[in-house]
Chain A
Amino acid sequence: MGITMIRAALTTFLTLTVLTGVIYPLAITGIAKLVFPAQATGSLIVENGKVRGSNLIGQSFEDPKYFWSRLSATSLEPYNPASSSGSNYGPHHPDLKKAMEARRAALQALDPRNPPPIDLLTASASGLDPHITPAAAAYQAARVARVRNLSLDRVYQLIAEHSTGRAWGILGEPAVNVVQLNRALDR
């Protein structure tokens, strides 16, 4: 390997590093902050100057007055945003069945109806899923209305306000943002 090749390799490596590793991300950061400042910085929920979380990052809701979010397997504690993780239980893992049964029991203690939607019994991939399915929201609506002394219609109205349908009518799944929904309930 000649000196010309070493020069070519080193120079190309360095210039491409600057281009793709410095200029490109910085340029994207600049444009992003200019055009989409809220999204670029995490779609934060700011209340009175205090960061309360992000519209995109799920939170743990275990109180009967809230719509419960899905199970979370993040390390240290559920919904730990600094450490995203799924349960990674294999389909036959005994703990998976245990976790689902425990959740089912807890839900059915409050809402003795069968069966709870599957998303409420399972942990999400990220452990930070901000959504539940419309079915999961409907399952819990009566309970939340009861505990909060709200009319069922009002609860359903709030659910609808924080629901998203399929993009372009085709893509993705309808979902209810449980973080926003619960904040709306608290207001």
Chain B
Amino acid sequence: MSKSARFDPHIVRGALMDSVRKLDPRHQAKNPVMFVVLVGSVFTTVLGLQALTGRGEAPAPFILGISLWLWFTVLFGNFAEAMAEGRGKAQADTLRKSRRDVNAKRLDEPRYGSSYTTVSGALLHKGDVVVVETGEFIPMDGEIIEGAASVDESAITGESAPVIRESGGDRSSVTGGTRVLSDWLVIRVTAEAGESFLERMIAMVEGAKRQKTPNEIALNILLAALTIVFLMATATLLPFSIFAVNEAGKGQPVTVTVLVALLVCLIPTTIGALLSAIGIAGMDRMLQANVLAMSGRAVEAAGDVDVLLLDKTGTITLGNRQATAFVPADGVSETQLADAAQLASLADETPEGRSVVILAKEKFQIRERDLHQLGAHFVPFTARTRMSGVDLDGRQIRKGAADSIEAYVTSLGGSFPTGVRQAVESIARQGGTPLVVAEGNRVLGVIHLKDIVKGGIKERFAELRRAGIKTIMITGDNPLTAAAIAAEAGVDDFLAEATPERKLQLIRERQAEGRLVAMTGDGTNDAPALAQADVAVAMNTGTQAAKEAGNMVDLDSNPTKLIEIVQIGKQMLMTRGALTTFSTANDVAKYFAIIPAAFATTYPQLSALNVMHLASPESAILSAVIFNALIIVALIPLALRGIQYRPVSAADLLQRHLLIYGAGGVLLPFAGIKVIDMILAGLGWV
């Protein structure tokens, strides 16, 4: 996400309006730190007005100056929150547009062709069966029970290319608000009105239902405790100061305005103001990654994950295998096989098909040919035949799984040679996929398709390991093959011949050790494991059951994204921690600014503590308050962007952040307050 996108003028304008709207005390009361600032703002305003009548505790301009900046402090906090919400709001608006009330054709009997009654989509209930035909919107979330169709899901995923949805298997779920582009679907409704995926998504991105995450609650408690400590430290200063004035016999007791200013400077306003923005921004970053988290809790848990279960295919290896060898049948030359295989694959636009063409070119210099010039007819892959190929000059070349080709050649009176069968078995044993090529009733040989480990994945796993996260590869392969791929990919462990039960068991075992487990899944049989895992990312292409069981949905259906999700989770926590440290560290300088100023009339010798040599007591106090307000604005980008994630050990990370936000937090305000003081003095305002 680019910076300009984040500070979209439209969003900024909306956020400015919202900052004022959020002054509502009921809203502020949710955040104890900022509530204290709000109360202080109101209080100093009253004191300022009183001073205007000439009976004030201090000159009116001074009180009102403080008061003004306290109001700014509150507004800046609101602005941060509103900015964080802005993006989600914009996205929600788009989503809302796709939430139209469409009419649904409710079938009287759950089969295609049955009679139907047209009802409003809003009146559908769980279990109703509807038919949706070309051009129509799917009225409600559901499971396809009959049919196959291409569906435009861009309203949800933002991806314009249509996707195939079909009954049975792992692509059987549809989302309300998406549109059927071709063919028809018979769908059993799986959600009640108002609870649909789209509705939940809108609520989620708007942050309307945002609940505080566990760590956020814990942090809030700590911040409240700090606030109470500072409330005590400042409130008791009044009696202390009265005593001091009586004893020293000179000066004035510290004013309430100064005490309020001191209090606001000391309480952790920086983190208090940015806390909810950080949480919202975390959810928002998930959305940018096209991941829909069902709760903030899940996002936070993602940062804690110590075991990642990764499906081999698509995550660790390229989803598509590549041809690496041609194994000819007896009496067939390798070139002959390569030539036939190439012809059969020319029109096959799948990566596997293309890899066959490439291999033929690389190994046997068989150049690509144009099927049209050859007058060839392409036979596409169908679920029924489970083969693809080409017909040309009376030649019928087919390629496909061993059993399909066997059935094909047998039906044409041919036979399946033993040598080929052995080659098929041997390839399978090595973890490859055998693809048999036949011409007419004669089997020519086998193409060896092999898993290719994704480039750079090994390095990513090493990164994760340094950050304390273990990776476990899940595969249906036999242990031998799995071990080979695991070693190549550099995962820490693997589960071979994985079944849903074994996957579930693995998760339980790791959890019993006290680890947090994350996984991805899409099939209905993944549902139990998804439900068990601490962070469970369901693929959007997956079944309804999988989506229900998971606590996140990846709209891109990209299993590698799990790694990104973990980083976003960590970022959210790190940002909170760093700003809390920063906020507290800031207090040191503020004491040096305010304490000598507050007691200047009673104990002038305290001016020795005025190490910044601030111009006057008034400018010292005002400068501290202004710094305290401005630092919130200055940190909004950091809060929204999050601290950059680095894959290093916890100790290294802590050291780095302590240096930047701890030591930096002590030093920066000295400079900041001094600069503001110089400007104030230069302008002659104080």
A–B touching in complex (CB under 8 Å) = no
Residue numbers of B with Cβ under 8 A of A are none
Q: Which residues of A contact B (CB under 8 A)?
A: none
